[in-house]
A and B are shown apart, each in its own frame.
Chain A
Amino acid sequence: MVASIVAPPVARRPRTRSWLRLVVLLVIVAVVLYPLIWMIGTSVKSQQEIVNNIGLLPEHFTPGNYTDGWSNFDVSFGRFFLNSAMVSLLTVVGNAVSCLLAAYAFARLRFRLRKVWFAVMIGTLLLPSHVLIVPQYILFRSFGLVGGDWPYLPLLIPQFLATEAFFVFLMVQFMRGIPRELDEAARIDGAGAFGIFRHVILPLSRPALVTTAIFSFIWTWNEFFRQLVYLSNLSDYTVPVALTLFIDSTSQSAVGPMFAMAVLSLLPVFVFFVAFQRMLVEGINTSGIKG
């Protein structure tokens, strides 16, 4: 005991090592940020400068790229942003509600085959979405949901049916941390499974719900594969699908506008990052490591 008091503290690293570490970290920061800064710089360069000026910043600030890009196609980018926002926000609602319900059942209720279903849910965690795209497309098409007046149902229906196992798992993990004494107290007060959900689990699960909401917004905003498959009319396009139109028009003149729209498309994600940085970084921790 005495030894542990008088034992010297862990030896401090020499100052030079910590300076070296700082320099290495700053170099990594430069590498990590370079593409982003270059992207922003290029988005305000003139056509001439994109070819000639290799620097990060433009000599002539050219904000016109943004207005050009906004109306580069027959449908304005405003429409694409609205479509993306609608799909993302509805996905957030769907994931939050459906995953919360499923997670409550897994984490707190006892019913037949619970362990079997839980194992199945864990199994779907690793199921690649690409594997199911062909049959899902065929099924949605046979129900007349592909390419209709409102072609977003195939994108949204799965989200309202808790198919994002990642979020179910995240919420189950979170709910396991809510003390069961609270359930018992509510039960003594006469609450059933629904009462406990309503008055104990739902209010206490807010942090897990916020994490789910933020991640499902960002992932859906960036999602491309399924949106590419299901959206075929220009006016229905979301931002990622619309951005690929720029690649088709290989003419050099569209590079500035393309970068401008790329920057705009990342803006919502960046705002989320700044606002919820801590939560995002911690959020991916709560998800997995500690089972």
Chain B
Amino acid sequence: MALTTAPDPTRRGTGSVRPPATRRGTGRIRHGEGLAGYVFLSPWLIGLMGITAIPMLLSLYLSFTNYDILTPWSEVEWVGLANYERMFTSDPSWWHSVRVTLSFALIAVPLKLAAALGVALLLNRAWRGVGLFRGLFYLPSLLGGSVALAIVWVSMFNREGAFNSFLALFGIEGKPWVNDPDWALETLMVLAIWQFGAPMVIFLAGLKQVPTELYEAAAVDGASTFRQFVNVTLPMLSPVIFFNLVLETINGFQGFTAAFVLSNGTGGPVDSTLMYTLNLYITGFTDLEMGYASAMAWVFLIAIAIITVIFFSTGRFWVHYSDGEDR
């Protein structure tokens, strides 16, 4: 029958990841399995304690001290909230780094995701050559985070760089973009957007899972391509958009390498590329103010946590999970 050739709406794009077919209902722990569980878990547990939890607590303690790596522990002074006070009230470069980081994330991340979604839509229909394009577009995501590529990027947007020679073709006179406080951060944003391939691949997988029946039904109802995009693609894709948005925003806040390379580790010109993590590095490892840097790290952590909570609590209103009660 015709039904057998119809695409199976439950088909998963990636195939290999499937929920288990059967699940034992009882929560009882089989004899000996509890011990085995902790044996297998032990490297992770040791890591959780030694590499994550204890350093976090140490960092919390240090954030209330004036610790620098040079003075012995016995002379470390408890300074109460002084580090936090200094951050919020008397450290303009901290505020500056917050502004730089926020504007980087708020501009680069939406543009990167828009590029990723746009190209994914172009590639969506199955045709020869999709694999090649997909691979080529993904390549920058593998290379883009490296020091080598940051070096290339800085040279490209130099006075004699390739970008200015490109502008010259249209008779536009360029400038040394990376040395201009008004433009240095923008060149880093372009570098981030250039790496649109990773979210694009995730979008493509999401698009594959949209049942074609929905488009057919919409077409029968006379919906235009645009309306199909708004009323079918976007809602069906919203979990993937959400996933990409959370991931890319949190990554965006942590941009370090390119800013370090562009400014030779200073955050310049005129602090225009002083990303939060770069500021943290300079404070902790150049100025050796590790107590203050710990306070900065905790504020960063809390900020990331708040942003994640905001994402997840607003997600309820626009993320549509089709394998919820619908199925």
A residues within 8 Å of B by Cβ?
Answer: 1, 4-5, 7, 10-11, 18, 21, 24-25, 28-29, 31-36, 38-39, 42, 50-51, 54, 97-98, 101-102, 104-106, 109-112, 114, 117, 120-121, 124, 126-139, 141, 157-158, 160-163, 168, 173-174, 176-177, 179-181, 192-194, 197, 207, 218, 221-222, 224-225, 228-229, 239-241, 243-244, 246-248, 255, 258-259, 261-263, 265-266, 269-270, 272-273, 277-278, 280-282, 284-286, 288-290
- 8 A Cβ contacts from B90-145 to A: 119, 122-123, 127, 131, 133-140, 142-143, 145
State the majority secondary structure of interface residues on A.
helix
Distance between Cα atoms of A278 and B290 in the complex (Å): 44
User: Does B314 count as interface, using CB distance less than 8 angstroms?
Assistant: no
User: Does B272 count as interface, using CB distance less than 8 angstroms?
Assistant: no
- 8 A Cβ contacts from B1-35 to A: 1-3, 6, 12-14, 16-24, 27-30, 32-35
Residue of A nearest to B250 (CB): A126
Given known contacts A110-B34, A176-B18, A289-B243, is B40 in contact with A158 (CB within 8 Å)?
no
Distance between Cα atoms of A131 and B57 in the complex (Å): 12
Q: Which residues of B are found within 8 Å of A4, using beta-carbon distances?
A: 2-3, 6
The 10 closest A-B pairs by CB, nearest first: A161-B47, A111-B37, A193-B36, A54-B165, A135-B55, A262-B148, A102-B44, A105-B40, A109-B37, A162-B44
A111 touching B38 by the CB < 8 A rule?
yes
Distance between Cα atoms of A269 and B168 in the complex (Å): 33
A32 touching B136 by the CB < 8 A rule?
yes
State the majority secondary structure of interface residues on B.
helix
CB distance from B261 to the nearest CB of A (A): 6
B119 touching A35 by the CB < 8 A rule?
no
Given contacts A105-B38, A127-B301, 15 further A-B contacts (CB under 8 A): A32-B197, A36-B139, A105-B40, A109-B36, A109-B37, A132-B55, A134-B62, A134-B294, A174-B17, A244-B261, A266-B146, A284-B198, A284-B202, A288-B247, A289-B202
Given known contacts A128-B301, A130-B254, A161-B51, is B139 in contact with A273 (CB within 8 Å)?
yes
Q: Which residues of A are found within 8 Å of B17, using beta-carbon distances?
A: 173-174, 176-177, 286, 290
B residues within 8 Å of A by Cβ?
Answer: 1-3, 6, 12-14, 16-24, 27-30, 32-38, 40-41, 43-48, 50-52, 54-56, 58-59, 62, 69, 119, 122-123, 127, 131, 133-140, 142-143, 145-149, 151-153, 155-156, 160, 162, 165, 168, 194, 197-198, 201-202, 205-206, 212, 215-216, 219, 239-240, 243, 246-247, 250, 253-254, 256-257, 260-261, 264-265, 277, 280-281, 284-285, 290, 293-294, 297-298, 300-301, 304, 308
Q: List 6 A-B contacts (CB under 8 A).
A: A134-B294, A179-B20, A180-B22, A262-B152, A290-B14, A290-B17
Distance between Cα atoms of A255 and B159 in the complex (Å): 14
CB distance from B270 to the nearest CB of A (A): 18
A194 touching B43 by the CB < 8 A rule?
no
Residue of A nearest to B24 (CB): A180
Q: Which residues of B are found within 8 Å of A224, using beta-carbon distances?
A: 146-147, 256-257, 260
Distance between Cα atoms of A269 and B142 in the complex (Å): 7
Q: Which residues of B are found within 8 Å of A207, using beta-carbon distances?
A: 16
B29 touching A111 by the CB < 8 A rule?
yes
Given known contacts A135-B58, A177-B18, is B133 in contact with A29 (CB within 8 Å)?
yes
Q: Which residues of B are found within 8 Å of A18, using beta-carbon distances?
A: 127
Distance between Cα atoms of A199 and B212 in the complex (Å): 41
Given known contacts A54-B162, A130-B256, is B146 in contact with A265 (CB within 8 Å)?
yes
CB distance from B214 to the nearest CB of A (A): 12
Distance between Cα atoms of A272 and B141 in the complex (Å): 13
Q: Which residues of A are found within 8 Å of B139, using beta-carbon distances?
A: 32, 36, 270, 273
> Among the listed A132, A222, A269, which residue makes an inter-chain contact with B56, where contact means beta carbons less than 8 Å apart?
A132
CB distance from A19 to the nearest CB of B (A): 12
Q: Which residues of A are found within 8 Å of B194, using beta-carbon distances?
A: 31-32, 35
CB distance from B324 to the nearest CB of A (A): 13
B47 touching A98 by the CB < 8 A rule?
yes
CB distance from A84 to the nearest CB of B (A): 11
Distance between Cα atoms of A4 and B1 in the complex (Å): 10
Given known contacts A4-B3, A158-B47, A262-B152, is B34 in contact with A126 (CB within 8 Å)?
no
Q: Which residues of A are found within 8 Å of B48, using beta-carbon distances?
A: 120-121, 124, 163
A266 touching B162 by the CB < 8 A rule?
no
Distance between Cα atoms of A148 and B164 in the complex (Å): 46
